[in-house]
Amino acid sequence: MYKKGGIYMQKTNSKDVINRFKRVEQYFKKVSGGTAEDIHKIIHEDYDRAIKRAELMASIDRKSYDQPYVLLIPHQLEKGRKVSYRLDLLANGAQTLLYDQTLISVIFFGHETFYYYQSHIDHQTGEISLDLSGEFGYFDVVHVVTRLGYDNPQKPKYETLDLEIGLSDGAVVPIHLRSYRLQSDFKPAIFISEDELKIIDRLKKKVRESRQG
């Protein structure tokens, strides 16, 4: 990665892109199987680049927050290409659900400000697009709605968990915490995960503290 005009750019060549495309495409042809370290490395490097872009768009640095909260949702960008899923079986017996196209959301809890970022990642090419960034003060929050639902209540394929954050100016900021494909062989242990609870609890705590001071 190098910096050009204040923006971090990824160094690539055509051979690397082709090799990456073929490797990721082949990996996701199987719906389940053992994990591959090179694929996980590719995917997590994509996440790291998205976090860097989130910092740049929010005009913050690592000193502005304690840790980023990263949320991952399958997301189809082009009509002709559906999201491919893979259930990875880890060495310790755990399972993790991967997808070749991701809608990534990054949340930063600042001292007085909530920063959020969202973009689409194509793991076959490494391309990041549709960047969106915003922020608001905790004191401006007037209500927080947590909504657990399905894409279709009669014939559900996806379970979703969303936050709807209402602001004093009437705006509503949607934060998508979860959207995973319902599968008989992959079920969460609880209906809200520990990471999801951390985000919900921390946001509400920050909002309540802002009204006390």
CA distance 100 to 120: 11
Q: What is the pTM of this model?
A: 0.84
Domain count across the chain: 1
Instruction: Tell me which residue range forms the domain holding 16.
Output: 2-210
Give, for all 213 residues of the chain, the pLDDT tens digit.
545 444 444 555 678 888 999 999 999 999 999 999 999 999 999 999 999 999 999 999 999 999 999 999 889 888 888 999 999 988 888 888 899 999 999 999 999 999 999 999 999 999 999 999 999 999 999 999 999 888 777 888 778 899 999 999 999 999 999 877 676 555 555 578 888 999 999 999 999 999 986
Strand ranges inside the chain, DSSP E: 2-4, 7-9, 32-34, 68-74, 85-89, 95-99, 101-109, 113-122, 127-137, 141-150, 158-167, 172-181
The 10 Å Cβ neighbour count of residue 204 is 14
Write down the number of H helices and E strands in the chain: 3, 12
